[in-house]
Amino acid sequence: MNRNVRNRIESTRSRARRNRRARLVAACLVALQLAPVTPAFALTLAQSPLYAGGAIPPLVMLDLSKDQQLYKKAYNDYSDLDNDGELETTYKHSIDYYGYFDSGKCYSYSTSNQRFEPVATTSTKYCTAGTNQWSGNFLNWATMARMDAVRKLLYGGLRSTDTGSDTVLERVYIPPDAHAWAKHYSGADLDQLTPFSVPT
């Protein structure tokens, strides 16, 4: 058989294969368009464990470390909190410190209730100098223990009072031993963060 004839036969076969593939793809597309559309139904999931019979609410157990590290200060003054390549060795006003206090509020200490209470809002995290107010952001930096951060993250904090009109969060007990800490800040804006002024 001649080489040209053989090439023509192979060419005809490959065209036939391509035509069959094209017809198959077209048939699949037509079948997909003609297929009935079924609506999606809402899925109702159980809100309690299936094996519990439905009368017991679900519970979660978290196993946290019991070591003394959780009772140390949350902001240790030798971390780079804002990833600028420099350690934060004291309070830095541009950082929003996480904690029980609202960074956008100013607080006064109530001696009758023995707690800090919000008295004003602020968009700059500063309070008016000379008003005996504390910045919520500064209080978070100065007072938060790691355990307080864990409690706030998991369930909103330890509530010593929780009524419809009053919620009081209580910090973790810090033993007066090596767990106690001191913070140092002597910035020029001290009187806008605390009731105190910069010593001269």
Residue 199 lies in a domain: no
Full pLDDT tens readout for the chain, 200 residues: 566 656 666 677 777 788 888 888 888 888 777 777 777 777 777 766 666 665 666 577 777 777 788 888 999 888 999 999 999 999 999 999 999 999 999 999 999 999 999 999 999 999 999 899 999 999 999 999 999 999 999 889 999 999 989 899 999 988 888 778 889 898 999 999 999 988 77
Which residue range(s) make up the domain with 94?
A: 68-193
Residue 9 lies in a domain: no
pLDDT score for 139: 98
Residue 52 lies in a domain: no
Q: DSSP letters of 44-101? A: ---SS-GGGTTSS----------SGGGGSBSS-SSB-TT-SSS-B-S--TTS---SSS
Residue 2 lies in a domain: no
Residue 31 lies in a domain: no
Residue 48 lies in a domain: no
Residue 181 lies in a domain: yes
What is the tally of structural domains in the chain? 1
Residue 189 lies in a domain: yes
